[in-house]
Amino acid sequence: MINVTKTFLPSQEEYQAILKTAWDSGWITNRGVLVLELEKKIKNYLGVAHLIATTNGTLPLQIAIKALKLKGEIITTPFSYVASTASIIWENCNPVFVDIHPEYLTIDETKIESAITPKTTAILATHVFGNPCHVEAIEALAKKHQLKVIYDGAHAFGVTYNGQSIFNYGNVSTCSFHSTKLFHTAEGGAMFCNDEAVFNKLFFAHNFGHDGPLDFFGLGINAKMSEMQAAMGLAMLPYMDTILNERKKVIDFYNTHLDFSKLQSIKIRENTRWNYSYYPLIFQSEEKLLQIEKVLNDYQIIPRRYFYPSLNTIKYVKGKKMPISESIASRILCLPLFVGLHQTDLEKIIAIINKELC
């Protein structure tokens, strides 16, 4: 079976050699040496000054909403994984959707201003598939209307925009290190913030608000990464160049051989160094997508409908119609993309799609 992704794993020996530090000290969580080392190495790798490693990529969104004291309405994208909308609702705020750009698939910055009301406190946008939002326009709007900005950068590990890490933008940025993501710690994530006061709030909040064993800085919750997770991250990092190169090769092959006369692929924003995190294809109709998905499934090839459904249509969400997002969500399919995807399988996938497109 060929899935949309296959988790990259270092050898067990490499993982266990790193984990030995934790075993020998008997210290397996609460910001142990491996978490501290991972934070340092990721800062170096990404070129960011501040980050906090967390136990997943969703708690950072919730903690950011709390730390920035957001209330009322948060403007967000309908085209993302459910975590971005769920975090807003979970924190007792209302998601207000703004439709997406038909090619970049990120929130359409030109439609944000008309969605702002006196109740709006923030914009929470996703760098979907690692494609940066129009961060300049969003920053200008936030300034003009005194809004906070949170970027869900779950897919954006290693992405640079205008020569610097995409995580340097917004009041807070987040990432996911889930095992389906480009870089992973089995479960895990991070939050990024360059404002010292906000960073302190995030930091204390991810560890119950503890300020030393007996004192509390403020309200907190538990989003700490464990040493087991950090060891996986440390074992993964040396492979990042290989991972990026191998994924680029797969993408180049798809790009060269698929018949794009009846297909649309994602447009990556200018001045971006992308991370090859997903390979989404947009078909001309949902019927075509379902037809091709079925044939692929018959050959044990399992692409995924990332992201379906459009989040404004979820049962517990009362969202307005979002024509572009709903249309794209119904027609988009992510093809298998991982290190170790065989050339013969790639050729098979491409042959099936090109044949069914005719």
Ligand X SMILES: *Cc1c(COP(=O)(O)O)cnc(C)c1O
Give the number of other Cβ atoms within 10 Å of residue 321's Cβ: 12
φ, ψ for residue 314, nearest 5 deg: -65, 145
Cα–Cα distance between 120 and 113 in angstroms, integer? 11
Piece in contact with ligand X (CB under 6 A), picked from 56-64, 140-148, 278-286, 341-349: 56-64
Q: Which of residues 170-199 bind ligand X (CB under 6 A)?
A: 176, 178, 189
Q: CB-wise, 161 or 177, nearer to ligand X?
A: 177
CB 126 within 8 A of CB 104: no
Residues 6+ apart with CB under 8 A from 298: none
CA geometry: angle 129, 135, 140, nearest 5 deg:
155
- Using only C-alpha atoms, what is the Rg of the chain? 21
Cα–Cα distance between 247 and 183 in angstroms, integer? 12
Cβ of residue 80: shortest distance to ligand X, in angstroms?
A: 5
CB 167 within 8 A of CB 46: yes
Cβ of residue 304: shortest distance to ligand X, in angstroms?
A: 11
Q: CB-wise, 258 or 304, nearer to ligand X?
A: 304
Cβ of residue 212: shortest distance to ligand X, in angstroms?
A: 29
Cβ of residue 172: shortest distance to ligand X, in angstroms?
A: 13
Q: CB-wise, 84 or 258, nearer to ligand X?
A: 84
Q: Is the peptide bond before 307 cis (omega within 30 degrees of 0)?
A: yes
Cα–Cα distance between 263 and 107 in angstroms, integer? 22
Joined together, the tokens standing for residue 349 give 């996938």
Report if residue 225 touches ligand X, rule: CB under 6 A.
no
Sign of CA dihedral 343, 347, 353, 357: positive
Q: Which of residues 78-137 bind ligand X (CB under 6 A)?
A: 80-81, 83-84, 126
Q: CB-wise, 66 or 353, nearer to ligand X?
A: 66
Report if residue 58 touches ligand X, rule: CB under 6 A.
yes
Q: CB-wise, 75 or 258, nearer to ligand X?
A: 75
Q: CB-wise, 334 or 346, nearer to ligand X?
A: 334
Cβ of residue 90: shortest distance to ligand X, in angstroms?
A: 12
Joined together, the tokens standing for residue 106 give 């990120």
Out of 99, 108, 152, 246, the only residue in the binding site for ligand X (CB under 6 A) is 152
Piece in contact with ligand X (CB under 6 A), picked from 76-84, 264-272, 313-321, 343-351: 76-84
Piece in contact with ligand X (CB under 6 A), picked from 147-155, 247-255, 284-292, 341-349: 147-155
Q: CB-wise, 62 or 160, nearer to ligand X?
A: 62
Q: Which of 75, 88, 77 is nearest to 123 (CA)?
A: 75
CB 296 within 8 A of CB 346: no
Name the residue number minimizing CB distance to ligand X: 57
Cα–Cα distance between 137 and 237 in angstroms, integer? 33
Out of 10, 32, 57, 78, the only residue in the binding site for ligand X (CB under 6 A) is 57
Q: CB-wise, 230 or 353, nearer to ligand X?
A: 230
Residues 6+ apart with CB under 8 A from 215: none
Piece in contact with ligand X (CB under 6 A), picked from 67-75, 148-156, 199-207, 337-345: 148-156
Report if residue 56 touches ligand X, rule: CB under 6 A.
yes
Out of 38, 154, 250, 301, the only residue in the binding site for ligand X (CB under 6 A) is 154
CB 87 within 8 A of CB 58: yes
Q: Which residues bind ligand X (CB under 6 A)?
A: 56-58, 80-81, 83-84, 126, 152, 154-155, 176, 178, 189
